């Protein structure tokens, strides 16, 4: 790493993005945190100041082509280059497939997948020219396991996993590293924002209940987002890079299990209506206790 590498962290106004921006600045990088509106960055700036570092704000919306082009043009004008891009901006999306409006799939995909691609396209020409750089894409354990009743979110994160794998091969000849960070449940404002469900048919009450039970248990043990920031920093500076980095509560347990879960066990889990039985079977399969205090 050079004396002061330049890093851009999208979605830096909250959660993993905010923690990562501050942590990378603490490691000596010059950090630009992107937000949709500078007025939403007050907590980021306060936390950075409290940590004794500065994070520069770049206003852009990852869901909009022109906004991304303009935002990165300002960053490149100010810094001259981007050495590391952390695609952290993202949204949740709760719905079973039958009840999910097509527009919700499109909007979640546009932010979680196309947004990451838009931002990457702005920094890759310079990285190729220099023969170095890092793209870190934040996916999720839901990018490896089809998390229940979150069809649009799962679709987007699985897609970002595929895009990231492809980028890793595409960019390797140019000395550019791609890392996929797969968080489980991490402390974030997304919990408060992601409580809606369509439930338009009334047929999937059990599915939504089981999904919220998982997150209720995870919320009690949720990992500090700065721990994810540390993993992201490691993925950038390590001399022994991996493609994937599972992290946070349930991350290690679930991210690598997809190909080892028997299809019959997976389908059987969906057949269980009794909550206690469901929680018991979930722990048998994943090794994770999702019970919550009475």
Cβ–Cβ < 8 Å for 126, 81:
yes
Q: Which single residue is written with the structure tokens 């999904």?
A: 211
Q: How far apart are CA 283 and CA 281, in angstroms?
A: 5
Q: How far apart are CA 37 and CA 57, in angstroms?
A: 9
Pick from 164, 168, 169, 81: nearest CA to 126: 81
- In SS3 terms, 202-266 reads as CCCHHHHHHHHHHHHHHHHCCECHHHHHHHHHHHHHCCCCCCEEEECECHHHHHCCHHHCCHHHH
Residue 262 token pair:
């028997």
Q: How far apart are CA 294 and CA 288, in angstroms?
A: 18
Residue positions annotated with a catalytic role: 153
Q: What is the CA radius of gyration of the chain?
A: 19
Pick from 172, 169, 164: nearest CA to 143: 164
């Amino acid at each position: 790493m050079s004396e002061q590498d330049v890093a851009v962290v999208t979605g830096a106004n909250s959660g993993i993005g905010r923690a990562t921006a501050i942590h990378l600045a603490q490691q000596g990088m010059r950090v630009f945190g992107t937000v949709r509106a500078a007025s939403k960055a007050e907590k980021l700036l306060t936390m950075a100041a409290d940590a004794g570092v500065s994070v520069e704000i770049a206003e852009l919306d990852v869901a909009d082509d022109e906004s991304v082009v303009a935002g990165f043009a300002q960053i490149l004008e100010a810094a001259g280059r981007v050495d590391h891009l952390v695609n952290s901006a993202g949204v949740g999306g709760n719905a079973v497939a039958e009840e999910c409006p097509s527009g919700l799939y499109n909007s979640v995909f546009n932010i979680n997948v196309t947004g990451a691609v838009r931002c990457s396209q702005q920094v890759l020409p310079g990285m190729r020219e220099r023969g170095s750089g890092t793209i870190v894409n934040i996916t999720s354990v839901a990018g490896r396991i089809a998390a229940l009743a979150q069809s649009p979110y799962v679709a987007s994160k699985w897609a970002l996993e595929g895009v990231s794998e492809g980028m890793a091969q595409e960019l390797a000849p140019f000395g550019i590293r791609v890392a996929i960070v797969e968080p489980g449940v991490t402390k974030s404002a997304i919990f408060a924002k992601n409580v809606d469900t369509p439930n338009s048919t009334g047929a999937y009450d059990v599915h939504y209940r089981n999904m919220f039970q998982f997150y209720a248990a995870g919320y009690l043990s949720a990992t500090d987002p700065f721990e994810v920031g540390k993993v992201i920093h490691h993925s950038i500076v390590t001399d022994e890079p991996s493609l994937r980095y599972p992290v946070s509560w349930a991350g290690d347990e679930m991210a690598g299990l997809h190909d080892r879960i028997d299809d019959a066990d997976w389908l059987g889990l969906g057949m269980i209506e009794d909550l206690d039985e469901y929680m018991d079977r979930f722990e048998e399969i994943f090794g994770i206790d999702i019970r919550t205090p009475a």
